[in-house]
């Protein structure tokens, strides 16, 4: 019997302080890259609850989940990593989040595979850390001038 394919929901934290974005630096066989904190939603968990849990696990702190900024859909077979993982179909919900004023970046209790560091990156230097998805880099630099929420579509 063929395995049933599923769409996975994921919640991501957009945490900006003093013109800097909080990112997770990771490494795989292709080299270093950065992602936003967050991850998959479990059964019977709200998106906000999933995001709070994932931030505790990955960046070692609680977050206040604020407004939904944008939604991204990702079908791996349509993008550059189709060879590595061709069966991924994920819908990501990006929320504006806050951490405590005294938060210093640190690894959480259950970091992701390949997770090396949590750090602040100036918004104008996102290209230097290879932030994924690439599509959001220009949006994050100018969040104040967008109307939310909006749908990014199937992009990387």
Note the pTM of the prediction, 2 decimals: 0.92
**Please, what's the b/e burial string for 84-108 (b: 16 or more CB within 10 A of its CB; e: otherwise)?**
eeeebeebbbbbbbebeeebebebb
Residue 155's pLDDT band (cuts 50, 70, 90): confident
Would you say residue 53 lies in a domain?
yes
More confident of the two residues 156 and 86: 156
**Smallest Cα–Cα separation from 118: which of 19, 13, 18, 22?**
22
Would you state the pLDDT for residue 80?
63
Q: Check pLDDT > 80 for residue 13.
A: yes
- Interatomic CA distance for residues 30 and 43, integer angstroms: 32
Q: Check pLDDT > 80 for residue 38.
A: yes
Residues 67-95 have a mean pLDDT of 83
Would you state the pLDDT for residue 88?
82
**Is residue 17 classed as helix, strand or coil in its secondary structure?**
strand
Would you say residue 1 lies in a domain?
no
Would you state the pLDDT for residue 85?
64
Altogether, the residues listed in the chain come to a count of: 156
Q: Check pLDDT > 90 for residue 156.
A: no
State how many domains the chain has: 1
- Host domain of residue 97: 8-149
Would you state the pLDDT for residue 4?
75
Residue 131's pLDDT band (cuts 50, 70, 90): very high
Domain harbouring 59, CATH code: 3.90.79.10
**Mean pLDDT across the chain, nearest whole number?**
91
Would you state the pLDDT for residue 12?
98
Write out the two tokens for 17.
């302080």
Write out the two tokens for 92.
């990501």
Share of the chain above pLDDT 90, in %: 72
**Is residue 144 classed as helix, strand or coil in its secondary structure?**
helix
40 has which bridge partners?
Answer: 10
38 has which bridge partners?
Answer: 12
């Amino acid at each position: 019997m063929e395995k049933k394919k599923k769409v996975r929901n994921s919640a991501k934290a957009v945490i900006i302080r003093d013109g800097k974005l909080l990112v997770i630096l990771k490494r795989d066989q292709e080299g270093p890259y950065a992602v936003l904190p967050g991850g998959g939603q479990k059964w019977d968990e709200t998106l906000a609850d999933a995001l709070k849990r994932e931030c505790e696990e990955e960046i070692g702190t609680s977050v206040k989940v604020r407004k939904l900024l944008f939604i991204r859909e990702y079908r791996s077979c349509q993008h550059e990593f189709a060879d590595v993982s061709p069966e991924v179909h994920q819908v990501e919900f990006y929320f504006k989040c806050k951490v405590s004023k005294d938060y210093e970046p640190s690894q959480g209790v259950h970091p992701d595979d390949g997770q090396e560091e949590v750090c602040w990156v100036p918004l104008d230097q996102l290209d230097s850390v290879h932030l994924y998805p690439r599509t959001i880099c220009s949006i994050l630099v100018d969040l104040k001038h967008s109307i939310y929420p909006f749908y990014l579509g199937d992009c990387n």
